[in-house]
Chain A
Amino acid sequence: MKLRHAMVCASNQNRSMEAHALLRREGFDVSSYGTGAHVKLPGPSLREPNVYEFGTPYKQMFDDLRRKDPELYKRNGLLPMLKRNSSVKLAPQRWQENAADGSFDVVFSFEERVFDMVVEDLHNREHALMKTVLVINLDVKDNHEEAAVGARLALDLCKELEAAESWDDTIDEIVPAFERQHRRKLLYSISFY
C-alpha cells in the first residue's frame, strides 16, 4: 500500500525539507509543510530575522540572502539549505492551507507545537472522507545536524509504516518498538479526513 506522507515543521525550511528531500530520494510519496504564520530564517541578529511569506520561492530567498550577506549565510548554512530546498520543490507551503493537496496517510511533525497545530487543524476540518490519518511527532532540534538525524529517523519509521499491511492495526507495536530502538520519544495521534 502506497502511503502519502507529509513532513511538517514550523517554517518548511530545515527539518521538514530535510526529511522531504530524503524521503523523496527514497522514492516515497511525500510533501512538506510549515505551520508558522510566516517563513522565518535567522538574520544577522535576533532583532532582524528574515521573514518571508509562504509561497515565496526558495530560489528567491536564496538570492535575497546572498545579496544581503553571502558570507554570513553561507557560514550558518542557510544558503546551502535553500539551495537544497529549491531542488526539492518551488516554495515553502503552509499546512493550514493545504486542503487542496488531498488527504495524507501519515503526517510527520518535528516539534510538539507543530504537532498540536496539525492535530488541531485536522480536527477543525470537515471529516468527510472517513479516512484515517496518522500524525506523528518526533522532536528534532532545529539545526542542520539534528535535522539530518531526524530525517533519517523519519525515513525509518515511514519505511516500517509502509511495510505494515495496515498501519492502524500495528501502530501500537511499531511506535514502542521504534522508541525502544532509537531511544526517541514519539507522540502520535489518529485523526480523520
Chain B
Amino acid sequence: MVGVMASCPRDKALSLFNSAKFSIEIPSKLEPLRQLQEIVVYRDPTLLVEFVPHLMELQSEHFSPIRKFLAEMIGEIGLKHRQFLPEMVPVLISFLKDDTPAVAKQAITTGTNLFRSTLEDVALQALPDSLRESSWTCMLNFKEAVYPVAFQSGSEGVRSLAVRFVEATILLFTPDPNASSRPVPPEGGGKSEGFSISWIQGGLPLLAAADLALEASKNLGMLLDLLRSPSVRGLPYSVIFVLINSLSTIARKRPAFFGRILPVLLVLDPSTVVIKGALVSNWRDRLVNALKSLNAGDSSERALGQFDNVPGNLNHQTGDPHAPKDGTLSMHVSDATPIDAGRKRSVAEDAGDLAHGDDISGKRVRHVALVSQESPMQVIQPSPEKSQESSPLNMAQSSTGDGESGPVQQLVAMLGALVAQGESAVNSLEVLITSISSDLLAEVVIYNMRFLPSTRPSPESGEEETLTSCNISFLISNASAEIKQLSGTEHTMSLLSALPQIASLLDMKPLPSSSSADLTEERKPPIPMDLSIPASNTSTTDVAVLPRDAPASSIVPISDEEVNQLAVLETIEVGALQTGIPGLDDVPSVEELKEALDSSLSSSVDLVSGSSAKQESSSDHMSYDKSEALSPRASSGDMSWASSTASAPIVLPSSYLLQKVPPLVVALTDEQKDHIQKLAYVRIIEAYKQIAIAGGLNVRFSLLAYFGGECPLEFDSLGLLQRHILADYLNHEGHELTLHVLYRLYGEAEREQDFVSSSSASSTYEIFLLTVAETLRDSLPAADKSLSRLFGEVPYLPKQALKMLESLCSPGNGKDGKDLQAGDRVTQGLSAVWSLILSRPPIRDLCLNIALQSTVHHMEEVRMKAIRLVANKLYPLSFISQKIENFATEMLRSVVNGNAGGESTNIDRSNLSGGQIDSTEGVPKGGQLLKEAGLATADISSNINDSSSAKTLSSSSISEAQRCMSLFFALCTKKRSLLREIFLNYGSAPDAVKQAVHRHIPILIRTIGSSPELLSILSDPPTGSESLLMQVLHTLTDGTIPSPDLIYTVKRLYDSKLKDVGILIPIVSSLPKDELLSLFPQLVDLPLEKFKAALVRILKGSPNMGPVLTPAEVLIAIHEIDPERDGIPLKKVTDACSACFEQRVVFTQQVLAKVLNQLVEQIPLPLLFMRTVIQTIGSFPALVDFIMDILSRLVSKQIWKYPKLWVGFLKCAFQTKSYNVLLQLPAAQLENALTRTPALRQPLVAHANQPNIRSSLPRSTLVVLGLAQDTQSSSQAQPSLSSADAGTSNTQALTDTTKEAKTVG
C-alpha cells in the first residue's frame, strides 16, 4: 500500500479526491482533502495542474467547512504557485458572498495573504513577466471585490476582516518610513513585514506608486468616513472596534496619516453612538485603548475629557440601567489615565519591545507626534528611546501646562510628524496641505506663533511660561543624551539652547538640512526665529547648567550662526551614537558625571538646594532648561518639582537639576535605600511631634497615614507609625492619626480587587487596630474614653476586636482571671460596648451578646455592672429590648430546667440522697425542705440558713442560679409583666433556684410595689408558686400598709383559689375586725409559727389604724373557738393560748383579768376557760384574789355542770387555796370535790373550823366537812376512815386532777 502510494502519488491523490467528493459526511470529506493537499502542494506540485480545476469544483460543495477548507487550500497553493491564481481567485471572490460567514472570512484571510505576497513579488520583480501581470490583475480583482464588503453592511465578522484587508492594503500601498530604503532578502522566505512600497523602483508599469498612494489615501478616507457621523450610527460595535483598532494601527505604522486619523478618533462623539446604550462605555474604553496605544497620552486624556464633557453624557441620555457603573468607570478612567499611561509604557519596555526594529519606529513616531503638538519643529529626535522614556512626563506635563486642545493642535502634531519623516513624507505632506482648508492652515500658523519668543534675549515672558516649559521639556528629553555626553566628556555642556538644538536635530536626519529648513520656513514661521536665538541667551543657559560641572570647565562658545551650532551638535551627536541605545546609556553617563563632580555630595537634597541656589543667583529664568527633562525615574524629583511649580519662573532651573539628580541614588543598594527611607520616615514622624505643638496637625494626618501605607513593604512603616501613636496617644492626637491610617487601610482592602493585596491589607488593618486598642486598654486609665471612641469611629471592627472587648467585659473567661482586679476595665469595656451598640447598628447584635454574656458572669461585681448597663441603658432601647428579654428568659428557663446550673444541681441531688441512705426518702425530704422554704417569714435568708445541712451543700448552685437569673430580675423592674415568668417557672425549679429566687425577690418586690401586674399575678398565681407568693406578700406588706387593691386581691385569692389562710397573714392587720374574727379559727389552725406571726401582725396592726384586735379580743377569740364545730384540734387552740401567754408584755395581767372577766360571763363557758385561769395564775400569781372572785362567780354559775371545767375548777381552787369559794359550793358538790381531791379536806376543814367562818356556814356544809353533829357516828367514822387513807388517796386525787387538767388542756 505504502509502496503504491509512494510510487504513484497521482493515483493516490485521485482516489483521495474522489473519496472527498463523494463522501456525504463532513469529517470523511475533510480528511481526504487534507491528505490531498499534503500530496499536491508539498510532495508533488506537478499534480497541481491536473488537480486545481478539480479542486475548484468543490466551491459548490454543500458543506461550508469544505468550502472553508478550499479557501484555505487556495491560500496554500497560491502562495507557492502563482500560476494558478487566475484560476483560483475567482473562487475566492465568489466565496466573499458565501452564506456562511466562516467561509467568507477564510476567503478574505487567504486573499489578504495572497495579496500581500503577490504585491511583494510584483514589486520586487520576483516573478516572470507573464505571471506577474496575470496574477496581479486577479489580485486586483479580488481587492475590488473586497472593498464593497468592507464599506457596506453585511455580516459583521466578514466585514471586520474586510476592514482589516483594507487596512492591509493601505499599509502596503504607502511607504513604511521605518523600513530600510532597500529591499532586504526576506528571511525564511515568508512575507516580510519589512516590505515597503518605497522599494519599488521607478518604471514598474504595473505598479505606480503614486496611484497606489492615492488609492490608499482614498481608502483611508472611506474608513474614516465610516467612523464619522452619521454613518457610525449604523455600525455594529464589533465593526467600530475593528475600525478603531485598524485606524490606530495605521496611524502607528504610517505616521503620515496620523493627522488624518487622530482628529476623527477624537471627534468620535459618544452621543452619536449613545442610542445604543449599554455598550457605550465599552466602546469608549476601546477608543481609549486605541488612543493609548497611539501613545498620544495627552491626546487621549483630552479625548477623555471631551467625553466627559459631552453634554448630557452617556448615562443621562440612555437611562442605562448600568448608569452608576458607567459613572464610576469614567471616573476611574480619567483619574487613572496619567498614571496609566506611564505604566503602560513601562510595561511595554518590560516586555522587551525595544528589541523590535519596527516597534521602535512606531514608538518614535508616537513621541514625535506627541511632542510636536507643542512645537512642530521639535519633532525630530535622534534618540527614540530617550524620548520614549520621558514620554510619561511629557504627558503629565502637557496636561498641566496646556489647557488648550483641538483639531489645530492635532493638525500641528500631524504636520510635525510628517516633517519628521523627512523626504519620504513630502508627498503626503503636500497632499495634506492641499486638503486643509485655508482657515485651518491659518490657525495652525497662528498657533505656532505662540512658540515665538517675545523678545530675543529674554525669551519667554511669563504669559508663555508654561508653553515654553512644555516646549523645552521635550527638547531636553531629546537632548539629554547629548547633553550628558557633552558634560561627561568635554565639560562643555555648551548649550544647546533649545532651539538651536532643534535645528541640529533636524540636521541629524538623513535628509539634507537645507530641505528641512525649507520645509520649516514654509510652514513653520517660528522656527527660523528660534534658530536665530542669540548667543547671549545660550550662554546664560550655560551658566544655569554649569553648577554641576564647576564653572571652570571649558565652555564652547556658541556663535549665533546656525551652521556653527549645527557643527557642534553634530559632533555631539557622533558621540551619542557611540552607544547603540542612548536611553540605556543614560544612566551610566550621568553616574560618571556625578562621580566626577559631585562625589562629595552626601545627599541628593543637598545637591538640589545647592545648585538651585546657584541657579537662582545666575538669575536665569532660562528655563529653557531642560527642566522638564525630568527623567521618568526622577520620582523623588517629582515632589520637589511639584512644589517648585508654585514659584513660577525659578522653578525650571531647579527642576532641571532634578533631572540630573536621580542618578545620584542609583548606586545605593536596596538595603541602603530601605534604610534611608526608614530614616526619613522616622524623621517625619519625629517632626510631627513638634508640629503637634504648633498645631495644624489635622491636615497632615492623612499625609502621614498615606506615607505609612505607601512605604515599601520591606520596613515596617506602619509599625513605626504605630509606635509614634502609642508613645503618647493623647498628646499626639493618636486617635485622629489612627483613624486616618485605618481608613486608608480599609479603603485599600475594599478597593483592591486583587486577592493578595486586599486580604493582606485587611489583615494589616486588623493587626493595627488591635495593637492600638490593646495598648490603650493597658496603658490608659480605665476611665479614659479613648478606647470606646476608637472602636466607635473606625471603619469596621474585625472579629478580634470584638473578642478583645469580650474579654474586657467578661474577664477571666478565657485565661484564668489574670486581670480579675480589673473591675474598672469591665466598666470601660461595657461602656465601649454600649456606645458601639448605639452607633454601629451592623454589629449591634454581636456587641449585645458581649454585654449579655457579661451579665451572667460568674463574678458578681462584673455581673452587676453588666446588668446595670443592660437593664438601665440598653433595655429601654426598643430595637434590642426584645433580644435582651429573650436572652434573660432563656437563661431563666435554662436554670430552671437544670440546663445551665444543671451540673451542680445534680450533684446536690446525689448528695442529698446519699446522705439519706434511701433515695426514695430523699424526695419527701426535699418536699419538706420545700415546705420549710415556704414557711419563709420576713427574714428569708435566715430561714434558709436554718434549714438542713443539705442546703448549704447547694450554696454553689444557688449562686449559679443567681448568676443566671440576676438579669431577669433586673429586667422585671423595667418591665413588670416579666414577673409572671418567674412565677411560672418557680414551681418546677430546683431547690437551689428557688432559694435564689427567694433571695432576689424581696428586693425586686420592694422596687416594684404592688403594681397592677403584680396584683394580677397574685390574683391568679401559677400552681406551685405558693411559697413564692407568700414571700411576695410578706415583702409587700412589710412595714407598709397594704393597698386596698392588694387586700382585695389577696382576699379574693383566698376565697377563690387558694384556701391557705396563710396568705392572709401579711394583710391580716388590714382586715376589718369582724372578718378577722371569722377567720380566726383558721389562723389558729395554722402551724404555730405562722400563727405567732399572724398574732404579731394582728396585735401590731397598721400604723395609722392601730391594732385590729386588742390582746384581750384575741384571747377571747381564741377561746371562742369550738374545736368540734370549727374542726380544729384542741391542741392547736391550747397552743395558741400558750403563744399568747408567752407574750407577757402584751398579755399583761390587766388584759388577762379583763379577758377572764368577759369569759366568765359567757354562756356556755369556753372550753378552755379553766385552763386559761390556771395559766393566768401560773403567769401572774398576783391575780390570785381576782381569780378567787372568778371562781366564786363560777360557783354561782354552777360550774359543776361542766364536767371538764369542774375538774379544772377544783384544781384551780386547790391551787389558789380558795377555801371560801369551795365552801360556797352546795354540800353535794363540796362532797364531790372532796372525794375528788381528798387532799383538800384537811385544809378546808381547818379553814371552816375558824369560828367566824364556821358560823356562817350552812349546816349541810359542816356536815360534809364533818364538823356538824347530825350524822355524828357515821360522819366521824367517815373522816377517820377517809383520813386513814388520805395520804394515798390524796395523792391519787391530785394526780387525777392533773390528768384531767391535762386532758382538758
With CB as the reference atom, state the residue of chain A lying closest to B277.
Answer: A176
Segment of B28-36, B236-244, B1037-1045, B1245-1253 in the binding face? B236-244
Q: Is the CB of A120 within 8 A of B289?
A: yes
With CB as the reference atom, state the residue of chain B lying closest to A143.
Answer: B755
Segment of A20-28, A60-68, A84-92, A164-172 in the binding face? A164-172
- Chain A residues with CB below 8 A from B102, complex form: 1, 165-166
Q: Is the CB of B238 within 8 A of A190?
A: yes
Segment of B155-163, B256-264, B723-731, B1150-1158 in the binding face? B155-163
Name the one of A1, A123, A168 contacting B293, with C-beta atoms under 8 angstroms.
A123
B206 within 8 A of A: no
Q: Given the complex of chains A and B, what is the CA–CA distance between A124 and B295 in angstroms? A: 12
A57 within 8 A of B: no
Q: Is the CB of A191 within 8 A of B245?
A: yes
B767 within 8 A of A: yes
Name the one of B105, B340, B754 contacting A142, with C-beta atoms under 8 angstroms.
B754
Name the one of A47, A169, A175, A176 contacting B716, with C-beta atoms under 8 angstroms.
A47
Segment of B54-62, B348-356, B910-918, B1264-1272 in the binding face? B348-356
A181 within 8 A of B: no
- Chain A residues with CB below 8 A from B755, complex form: 11, 13-14, 42, 142-143
B753 within 8 A of A: yes
Q: Is the CB of B279 within 8 A of A175?
A: yes
B343 to chain A, nearest CB (A): 9
A10 within 8 A of B: yes
Q: Given known contacts A120-B289, A187-B282, A187-B285, is B760 in contact with A132 (CB within 8 Å)?
A: no
The 8 A CB mask of B72-106 against A (1 = contact, 0 = none) is 00000000000000000000000000001110010
Task: List A147-172 residues whose CB lies under 8 Å from chain B.
Answer: 165-169, 171-172
Q: Is the CB of A168 within 8 A of B289?
A: no
Interface centre among A42, A129, A190 (most CB of B within 10 A): A190
The 8 A CB mask of B720-760 against A (1 = contact, 0 = none) is 00000000000000000000000000000000011111111
A101 within 8 A of B: no
- Chain B residues with CB below 8 A from A171, complex form: 156, 237-238
A61 to chain B, nearest CB (A): 13
Task: List A74-108 residues whose CB lies under 8 Å from chain B.
Answer: 76, 96
Q: Is the CB of A166 within 8 A of B108?
A: no
Task: List B277-291 residues whose CB lies under 8 Å from chain A.
Answer: 277-279, 282, 285-286, 289
A41 within 8 A of B: yes
With CB as the reference atom, state the residue of chain A lying closest to B161.
Answer: A130
Q: Is the CB of B763 within 8 A of A176?
A: no
Task: List B322-343 residues whose CB lies under 8 Å from chain A.
Answer: 322, 325, 340
Size category, B interface: 35 or more
Q: Is the CB of A166 within 8 A of B155?
A: yes
- Chain B residues with CB below 8 A from A42, complex form: 755-756, 759-760
Q: Is the CB of B164 within 8 A of A130?
A: yes
With CB as the reference atom, state the residue of chain A lying closest to B761.
Answer: A46
- Chain B residues with CB below 8 A from A190, complex form: 160, 238, 241-242, 245
Q: Is the CB of B289 within 8 A of A189?
A: yes
Q: Is the CB of B278 within 8 A of A189?
A: no
Q: Is the CB of B160 within 8 A of A132?
A: yes
Q: Is the CB of B289 within 8 A of A47?
A: no
Q: Is the CB of B753 within 8 A of A120?
A: no
- Chain A residues with CB below 8 A from B604, complex form: none
Q: Is the CB of B763 within 8 A of A46?
A: yes
Q: Is the CB of B753 within 8 A of A126?
A: no
- Chain B residues with CB below 8 A from A192, complex form: 164, 245
B762 to chain A, nearest CB (A): 9
A175 to chain B, nearest CB (A): 7
- Chain B residues with CB below 8 A from A37, complex form: 350
Q: Given the complex of chains A and B, what is the CA–CA distance between A166 and B760 in angstroms? A: 43
B1176 within 8 A of A: no
Name the one of A49, A96, A120, A166 contacting B101, with C-beta atoms under 8 angstroms.
A166
Q: Is the CB of B289 within 8 A of A116?
A: yes
Q: Given the complex of chains A and B, what is the CA–CA distance between A139 and B716 in angstroms? A: 32
- Chain B residues with CB below 8 A from A41, complex form: 756
Q: Is the CB of A179 within 8 A of B322?
A: yes
- Chain A residues with CB below 8 A from B242, complex form: 132, 190
Q: Is the CB of A45 within 8 A of B760?
A: yes
Q: Given known contacts A166-B102, A168-B238, A190-B242, is B767 in contact with A139 (CB within 8 Å)?
A: no
Q: Given the complex of chains A and B, what is the CA–CA distance between A41 and B1049 in angstroms? A: 75
Q: Given the complex of chains A and B, what is the CA–CA distance between A45 and B714 in angstroms? A: 12
Q: Given the complex of chains A and B, what is the CA–CA distance between A187 and B350 in angstroms? A: 26
Q: Given the complex of chains A and B, what is the CA–CA distance between A43 and B763 in angstroms? A: 10
Q: Is the CB of A130 within 8 A of B157?
A: no
Name the one of A46, A129, A141 contacting B753, with C-beta atoms under 8 angstroms.
A141
B1149 within 8 A of A: no
B283 to chain A, nearest CB (A): 9
B367 to chain A, nearest CB (A): 16
B1282 within 8 A of A: no
B828 within 8 A of A: no
Q: Is the CB of B347 within 8 A of A165?
A: no
The 8 A CB mask of B118-150 against A (1 = contact, 0 = none) is 000000000000000000000000000000000
Q: Given known contacts A42-B756, A117-B347, A123-B293, is B157 in contact with A168 (CB within 8 Å)?
A: yes
B320 to chain A, nearest CB (A): 10
Q: Given the complex of chains A and B, what is the CA–CA distance between A117 and B347 in angstroms? A: 9
With CB as the reference atom, state the residue of chain B lying closest to A122.
Answer: B245
Q: Given the complex of chains A and B, what is the CA–CA distance between A166 and B155 in angstroms? A: 9
B1144 within 8 A of A: no
With CB as the reference atom, state the residue of chain B lying closest to A14.
Answer: B755
Q: Is the CB of B160 within 8 A of A165?
A: no
- Chain B residues with CB below 8 A from A30, complex form: none
Q: Given known contacts A45-B767, A169-B101, is B756 in contact with A11 (CB within 8 Å)?
A: yes
A15 to chain B, nearest CB (A): 8
Q: Given the complex of chains A and B, what is the CA–CA distance between A172 and B280 in angstroms? A: 12
- Chain B residues with CB below 8 A from A121, complex form: 351
- Chain B residues with CB below 8 A from A141, complex form: 753
B764 within 8 A of A: yes
Q: Given the complex of chains A and B, what is the CA–CA distance between A113 and B761 in angstroms? A: 19
Q: Is the CB of B760 within 8 A of A49?
A: yes
Name the one of B105, B164, B322 contacting A185, with C-beta atoms under 8 angstroms.
B322
Q: Is the CB of B351 within 8 A of A142?
A: no
Q: Given the complex of chains A and B, what is the CA–CA distance between A79 and B157 in angstroms? A: 43
Q: Given the complex of chains A and B, what is the CA–CA distance between A116 and B332 in angstroms? A: 13
Q: Is the CB of A120 within 8 A of B156?
A: no
Name the one of B286, B754, B760, B767 contacting A189, with C-beta atoms under 8 angstroms.
B286
- Chain A residues with CB below 8 A from B237, complex form: 171-172
Q: Is the CB of B753 within 8 A of A139?
A: yes
- Chain B residues with CB below 8 A from A126, complex form: 193
B855 within 8 A of A: no
B344 within 8 A of A: yes
A174 to chain B, nearest CB (A): 11
- Chain B residues with CB below 8 A from A176, complex form: 277-279
B112 within 8 A of A: yes
Q: Is the CB of A179 within 8 A of B193?
A: no
Q: Is the CB of A49 within 8 A of B756?
A: yes
B113 within 8 A of A: yes
With CB as the reference atom, state the residue of chain B lying closest to A10.
Answer: B754
- Chain B residues with CB below 8 A from A4, complex form: none
With CB as the reference atom, state the residue of chain A lying closest to B293.
Answer: A123
Q: Is the CB of A46 within 8 A of B757?
A: yes
Q: Is the CB of B112 within 8 A of A186?
A: no
Q: Given the complex of chains A and B, what is the CA–CA distance between A169 and B101 in angstroms? A: 8
- Chain A residues with CB below 8 A from B282, complex form: 186-188
Q: Is the CB of B293 within 8 A of A142?
A: no
Between A and B, 11 residue pairs with Cβ closer than 8 Å are A44-B763, A116-B344, A117-B347, A142-B756, A165-B102, A168-B157, A169-B101, A189-B286, A190-B160, A190-B245, A192-B245
Q: A130-B161, A132-B242, A168-B160 are in contact. List 14 more A-B contacts (CB 8 A).
A: A37-B350, A45-B760, A45-B763, A47-B713, A117-B347, A120-B347, A129-B109, A143-B755, A165-B100, A168-B101, A169-B157, A188-B282, A189-B245, A189-B286
Listed from nearest, the 9 A-B pairs whose CB atoms lie closest are: A168-B157, A142-B755, A46-B760, A130-B109, A46-B764, A166-B101, A47-B713, A40-B756, A190-B241
